[in-house]
A and B are shown apart, each in its own frame.
Chain A
Amino acid sequence: MAKYGMVIDLLKCAGCGACGVGCKTQNNTDDAHDGQTFNWADFCEKIEGKYPNAKYTMYPTLCNHCSDSPCIGACPVSPTAMYKSENGITLHNEERCIGCGMCQQACPYSSNMDDDKAARYSVISMNSHDAEPHARYRNPNELIKGITTSGAEIAKKAGRTPPHRTMHAHPDYNSVRAKEKAEKCIFCEHLVASGQNPYCTQVCPSQARVFGDLDDKNSAVSKLLAENRNSVVVLADNKGKTAKPGSGTQPNVFYIRSFSARK
C-alpha cells in the first residue's frame, strides 16, 4: 500500500493563491466565520530581515497527513472519526464526528483563529453547531428589494448550495460537510482513487506541488526528496516555524528549495 505525501517546490511556487482557491472550488469549503478559515489549502507567509534585505517566503499549506498524527489520538469517538487510511492519508469520517473540536486542539497546525492571533492558518476547521454551512447562500436578503437576487435565490436557481458545488462522493465524507463537524484536507482522496492528482496539484500553474507515494523510491516525490536533501523542511507549527523532516508529528508534506532566489 502507498504512503501518500506531497513535495512543494518553493522556488517554483509563486505564492499565487490558485491552489487555495482551487481547493475551495473542488471541496466546496465554506467562507470563514467564527474563527474558522475553511481554507483546506492555505498559506503561511514569513518575512525575515529588514529592508532592503528582507526575505519573504510563502509556504502553501494543507494537512500534513502526519505519520504520527495527534488529531487521531485526540478523537474521542470509537472507532475514531479522524483516522489513518492504509494509503497514509489522514481521513475524516463525517458520520462518526461529533464536532467536539479535540482534533483541532491537538493538531499543531490548527487553531481557532479568533483565539490564536499568531496563527497564520488552520488545517482543521470546525463547522458551526447552530448554522448550516454556506450561510451566504442561504440568506434570503436582497441588497436592493426586487432588483438584486439573494444568496438563497441564486442557489435555488442554480440547484445546489453553494451554487458552484462540485459533486463528488466518498464513503467517509460528503461534498459539503454538515454542521457540527470537523473538516480538513483529505488529499482529495475522491480524485486520487480514480488516478487523478489532488486538485491543488492539478491547478498549480508552476507545477510546484508534486503528489505521490513516499514508499516508492521511484516516485516523483521520493526522487525530489532525495535530490533536495539539503533544503527540505517541514512545517513545525502554523506560524511559520520549520523543522527537519521526521521531527514532531512527522509531517508528510515537504518543502524543498527556497521561495526567494536571493542568497
Chain B
Amino acid sequence: MKIKRRDFLKVSAAAGAVAVIGGPSLNAFAQTTAPKKKAMGEAAGEWIPSTCQGCTTWCPIEIFVQEGRAVKVRGNQLSKANGGYVCVRGHLLLQQTYDPDRIKTPMKRTNPQKGRGIDPKFVPISWDEAVDTIADKLIELRRNNETHKYLLMRGRYSDHNTILYDNLTKMLGSPNNISHSSICAEVEKMGRFFTEGFWGYSDYDLDKMKYLITWACDPLSSNRQIPNAVTKFQRLLSEGTVVAIDPRMSNTAAKAHEWMPIKPATDGALGVAMAHVILTEGLWNKEFVGDFKDGKNKFRKGREVKEEDFNEKHSYGLVKWWNLELKDKDAAWAAKETGLDRNQIERVARGFAKAAPNCAIWFGPNMQPRGTYSALAMHALNGLVGATDNEGGLVTGMSAPSSSYPKFDAYQDDLAKAGAKNKKIDQRGYKTFPNLASGRPGSGVSANNVANAILAEDPYDIKVAIGYFVNYNFSTMETGRWDKAMAKVPFFVHVVPMVSEMTQFADIVLPSALHHTEDWAIVRSKANLYGHISIQQPVVERMFDVRGAETEFVWLLAEKLRDKGFPNVYDWLHNEYKDPETGKKPTDGLEFAIYATKIRSQKAWDPAENKDYKGDKPSGWEDFRKKGVVNSPRFEFRKKWGTPEEGNFPTATKKFEFYSETLKKALTEHAEKHNTTVDDILTVTNYEARGEKAFVPHYETQLRHGSRTEYPFDLVDMKSRLNREGRSANLTWYHAFKKCDPGDVNFDDVVQINPADAQKLGIKDGDMVKVTSVVGSLTVRARLWEGIRPGTAAKCYGQGHWAYGSVGTKDYAKFEPRGANFNEIMVDDYDRLSGSSARNGGFTGVKITKV
C-alpha cells in the first residue's frame, strides 16, 4: 500500500481533522518495519590542507575527505589569516570539484567558423594530439621569426604562474604575458602608491581599531580578507564605529552605524571635504603630519597658508595640498556634489579623526575613469590621521618566506630574446595609456584593451594565444569586443576545468586540474597582520585526465617542443627543477609539479633555511604538507615612518606625500617619452586637472557615457559574496542562497532599483525591464529595493552566462543565457593613469524601461 502525499492531503483536507486520518491502518503501515539499532556519529575522515582561491583572499583551508571524496571545507585551523574559518564561497568549492559539467578530455574544434553562438563542434582528442598541435603552432612562429605574436592570458593563478605566464612566454620569445588584474582591482593600488610608495593591498589591525570607514567596498563579502572581516567586525560594531560609503546598502552598510549613500563617482569630493573638515578643526595627527610652527591652526576656509609656517614631520606637501585643492571645499560644498547630508559628512570626518590613529579607511577598487584621484583622496585621509602603518590602523602587511624559482635565462636563445623585446600587445605606454604601475610608465597592464589591440592589429596581430582560468568573453566590460577579437585569433588554446564563453573560440581545449582539490601549487597572501605561504595539493584522486595548467601542461609542451627540435624549454625544466630533498631530476609532469612546489616553499619548510625564522617552522617538507601553512610573525608597526629627518616611505621624498612628487616624476617621464607636457597627457587621458593639481588628491567629476537626459540612471556594478569570481553560476548552492546579497533574490538575477524611481517608471517588483546603455540592451528582472540610492541601478556580476554549464546557462544548446551579464552593456573605458578598466562609479549611464 502506498499513499501519495498529494492524495493524502486531499483526504486530510476533506476530513478536516488530522486525528481521523491518523487512524489504525496508517499506524499499522508505519510499524511494519521495526527500528534497528544504529551507531550515532560521523564516519571517519581526514582533514587535508589546501588553499582556496575562490577570491583574492587566498585562504589556507582544510578539506574533509571521506572514502577519498571531498565532503566538507573549513579554514586551516593553523591559519592566522582566517582563524580557521572559510567564507561562504569556501564551501562552494565542493560543488565546483564535483561539477557535472566539467571537461574530462582534451578536445579540438571542428567548425572553423568562430563567433558568439556558433557551435565549435568540439570532438575529444588525446593529450598527445592536443599538445602536439600546440607545439607545431609555436614552432611555426619561431620559424617565421614572429614569436612575439604569441599571447598568454592569465586568470586566477598560483605562484607557479612564474613558469607558464612569465618564464615560458619569454622562453618562447614573446613579451605578451597578459594578466587579468586590471579588469577589476588595480586603481586601488594607485591610492597607496602615489602617497606612500606601496603598490599592493592593505592589511588592517581590526583588533585595535576604533573607527572604520569602508569606502567603495564591502569587506564582509569581498575585498581580500572576508573570514577575518566577518570574525572581527563584531567588536567594532559593539565597541567602535563603522561607517559605510556606498550608493547601495552593501552587507557592511546594512550593519554599519552610519550609511553614506553617496552619488556615484563623487568620492573625491567627499574625500577632500573630509580633509577640509579635519584640517580646519585642527584634528589632523600632529605626530605624523606635524603642526604650525606657532601652534596656531591657520587652516581656515578660503585662506591660503604659507608653506614655511608649517613644520611637516613624516609627510610632505600638506600645505600645497591645502592651497591647491582643499581650502574652499568644505562639507557644505561636498554635500551638494555627493548628495549626502552635510552634518553627516562633518560628523564622520570628526569621528574618524578623533579616533586617530586607531582608525582606517578601507577603500575598494575605485575602478572608474579618473579613479586614481579618488583613491588618492581616500588614502590621503589615512595619512592625515596617522593611521597608516600604525597600530589600530592600516598597514602594508606581512609576507611569508618563499624561495626563488630556478632561472631560465641560460636557456633562452637569441631568437627568443629578440622576440621578447617587442612592445606588449596591450598598448601600455602609448600616449593614452600611461599605466603607471609602481610609478613606472608603461608598466601596468591594460587587459581589456588587448581586444582592441588584436582587432586593430596595433602594435601587431596575434597568431597563437593560450588562456588559462580566464574568461574575458564574460568578465570584461563591453564584452562583445572580445567575441570579435577571439574570433580573429587564428589559434587559441583554453586551459580550463569548465567550458565557458571564451572556450567557444578555442581551437584546442585542455582540461585543467582544479587548484583547490587536484593540483600542486604554492600560494601566498596576508590578513590579520600575518602573512602566509600555503600549499595546494591533491586532496582527492583526479576523476579525469586533467593536468595542472601552470606545471604539467608546460612539461608536456616542453617535451613536444624538444621532439620538434627546440629542446630549450625541456632542458630548463629537466635540469633546473630538481627535487630539493633528493636532487633527482623530474621525469614527468607530475614530478615536475611536485618539485616546483617543494622548490618554491623550501625556505618555509627546510630546517636548514628556516632555523632563524620568527614565524612558523615546520620540520620538513612532509610536516609542511601535513600542516599546509606557514604563518609569518606579526606585523610590526611604524617601520615605514622613519624619523622626521629621514623618512622611510619608498616615495620620491621618503615621506608620505600629500603632494605627490612620485606621481609628478612618473607623469613627467611619460610626457617626456612622448615629447609633450604633462597637461597634454592629462588631456588625452581624460582627466580634468591641469598644472600642479594633477599631483595632489583632488576631486574630478564623473566621466559618464550616456547623457543624463537619455540615460538617467548610474549603473552600479556589485559583487556577490557567493561569486567564486565569475565561476559560481553553475553551482546550485549559489542560487539557493543568492538572497544573502542584500537586495538580490534566490534563483534569479535582478537589477535593483529604488521603489521611488520604479514608481515613476511604472515598474513593479518582479517586472521584466530593459536596461539600455550606449553600447547595448539587456532584459532582466527588476527588484524594488529601499537599499539603493535613487537614480542608481545596481546589478550583481556573476550571472548571464551564455555558455557555462547546464545550470549557469539557461539553454546551453542554444547559448541562451540565464540572467544578464551587465558587462556586456558597460562601456570599454579606463582609468588611464593606471591602465585599469572602468567598471565602477556609474560611468555607464542607463535607461530602464518596462518590457
Contacts and interface: CB of A to CB of B under 8 A. Distances in A.
Interface of A: 9, 11-12, 14-18, 20-22, 24-26, 31-32, 37, 39, 43, 45, 47, 49-52, 54, 56, 58, 73-78, 81, 93, 95-96, 98-102, 105-106, 126, 129, 136-137, 139, 141, 143-144, 146-151, 153-155, 157-160, 162-171, 180, 189-191, 193-194, 196, 202-208, 259-262
A15 B253 CA distance: 12
B35 A101 contact: no
B88 A21 contact: yes
B531 interface: no
A147 B220 contact: no
Interface stretch (B2-10, B164-172, B383-391, B425-433): B2-10
A43 B259 contact: no
Interface string B17-39: 01001110011011101011111
Contacts of A208: 234
Given A77-B22, A169-B41, 14 more contacts: A12-B237, A20-B736, A52-B259, A56-B254, A81-B30, A99-B5, A126-B5, A143-B805, A146-B123, A158-B540, A160-B69, A164-B71, A166-B71, A170-B40
Contact of A51 (B104, B227, B754): B754
A138 to B, nearest CB: 10
B87 interface: yes
B121 to A, nearest CB: 10
Nearest to B738: A17
Contacts of A157: 543-544
Contact of A15 (B67, B85, B742, B785): B742
B493 interface: no
A40 B493 CA distance: 43
B786 A15 contact: no
A25 B72 contact: yes
A262 B87 CA distance: 24
A149 B737 contact: no
B101 interface: yes
By CB atoms of chain B within 10 A, which of A50, A51, A95, A159 has the most?
A: A51
A56 B233 contact: no
28 contacts: A11-B238, A16-B226, A16-B230, A16-B251, A17-B88, A18-B88, A21-B88, A21-B91, A51-B754, A76-B21, A76-B23, A76-B27, A77-B31, A100-B8, A139-B100, A148-B101, A164-B69, A166-B64, A171-B35, A171-B40, A189-B40, A194-B41, A196-B42, A203-B74, A206-B231, A261-B237, A261-B242, A261-B257
A99 B29 CA distance: 13
Given A26-B72, A164-B95, A167-B43, A14 B230 contact: yes
B233 A206 contact: yes
Interface stretch (B519-527, B668-676, B787-795): B787-795
A54 B69 CA distance: 45
B29 A98 contact: yes
By CB atoms of chain A within 10 A, which of B74, B540, B806, B812 has the most?
A: B806
A16 B221 contact: yes
Contact of B41 (A106, A147, A190): A190
A230 to B, nearest CB: 15
B254 A15 contact: yes
A54 to B, nearest CB: 4
Contacts of B255: 11, 14, 259-261
B249 A54 contact: yes
Looking at chain A's contact residues, the main secondary structure is loop
A67 B755 CA distance: 41
Contacts of B31: 77-78, 96
A76 B94 CA distance: 38
B231 A207 contact: yes
Contact of B85 (A50, A147, A149, A203): A203
Nearest to A192: B40
Interface of B: 3-6, 8-9, 12, 18, 21-23, 26-27, 29-31, 33, 35-43, 45, 64, 66-74, 82-83, 85-88, 90-92, 94-95, 97-105, 107, 122-124, 220-221, 226-227, 230-231, 233-234, 237-238, 242, 249, 251, 254-259, 261, 499, 540, 543-544, 721-722, 732-733, 736-737, 739-740, 742, 746-747, 754-756, 785-790, 805-806, 812
A78 B559 CA distance: 70
B27 A17 contact: no
Given A15-B742, A47-B786, A190-B41, A37 B88 contact: no
A11 B240 CA distance: 13
Contact of A193 (B40, B104, B242): B40
B79 to A, nearest CB: 12
Nearest to B72: A25
B234 A11 contact: yes
Contacts of B544: 149, 157
B26 A101 contact: no
Contacts of B27: 76-78
A207 B233 CA distance: 11
Nearest to B231: A205
B25 to A, nearest CB: 10
Contacts of B99: 154
Contacts of B37: 171
Nearest to A31: B732
Contacts of B12: 100, 102
By CB atoms of chain B within 10 A, which of A73, A101, A205 has the most?
A: A205
Contacts of B103: 147-149
A159 B254 contact: no
Given A11-B238, A17-B88, A32-B747, A143 B71 contact: no
A157 to B, nearest CB: 4
Contacts of A78: 22, 27, 30-31
Contact of B104 (A24, A149, A168): A149
Contacts of B5: 99-101, 126, 129, 180
Nearest to A143: B101
Contact of B69 (A106, A129, A150, A165): A165
Nearest to B790: A51
B710 to A, nearest CB: 25
Given A14-B220, A78-B22, A31 B736 contact: yes
Nearest to B788: A51
A39 to B, nearest CB: 6
Contacts of B790: 51
A106 to B, nearest CB: 8
A150 B543 CA distance: 12
Given A95-B33, A206-B233, A259-B254, A146 B124 contact: yes
A180 B2 CA distance: 10
Contacts of A73: 18
Contacts of A169: 38-41, 43
Nearest to A52: B261
Contacts of B73: 25
B52 to A, nearest CB: 13
A146 B122 CA distance: 9
Given A15-B742, A17-B88, A101-B9, A159 B26 contact: no
Contacts of A95: 33, 35
Nearest to B232: A206
A166 B71 CA distance: 5
Contacts of B21: 76, 100, 102
A137 B69 CA distance: 15
Contacts of B747: 32
Contacts of A26: 72
B736 A16 contact: no
A76 B69 contact: no
A183 to B, nearest CB: 13
By CB atoms of chain A within 10 A, which of B12, B40, B103, B227 has the most?
A: B40
A16 B220 contact: yes
Nearest to A130: B4
A168 B35 contact: no
